[in-house]
Amino acid sequence: GAVVSQHPSRVICKSGTSVKIECRSLDFQATTMFWYRQFPKKSLMLMATSNEGSKATYEQGVEKDKFLINHASLTLSTLTVTSAHPEDSSFYICSVNRGARLAGGPTDTQYFGPGTRLTVL
């Protein structure tokens, strides 16, 4: 079953409004979550690393005041696109690293969410 969920799956909003996207880790606690943006038939672009209990780490060129990230708990990270513009229309995907130590050794597998399609009119 799904390990990571995102809500909403699809959102259409007017230019100038803010949109919040949730990313939830369903099966385990995640101290770190990642937010990506995908353009059509292009690679996933890492936007930021969301750290539980501290500020997110943004990649170069990503405006932290425009893409607000809050990692309030070990299972939830939110990405808020503020004052959205049509050029922000994209597919936003989160992922979670399962770096916990399990019986037999540590794991380091990345699980991706289903994505959120944002359309800004």
For 15, phi and psi rounded to 5 degrees? -60, 135
Task: Find the shortest distance in angstroms from Cβ 83 to another protein.
Answer: 25
60 binds another protein, rule: CB under 8 A: no
Residue 64's alpha-carbon distances to 44, 60, 87, in angstroms, are 18, 10, 16
Q: Find, among 91, 119, 85, the residue nearest to 12 by Cα.
A: 119
- Give the span between the Cα atoms of 64 and 52, in whole angstroms: 16
Stretch that binds another protein, among 13-21, 22-30, 82-90, 109-117 (CB under 8 A): 109-117
Please identify, using beta-carbon distances, which residue of 81 and 96 lies nearer to another protein: 96
Determine the 3-state secondary structure of 1 from DSSP.
coil
101 binds another protein, rule: CB under 8 A: no
Ranges within 26-45 binding another protein (CB under 8 A): 36, 41-45
Binding site for another protein (CB under 8 A): 1, 9-10, 36, 41-46, 93, 109-115, 117
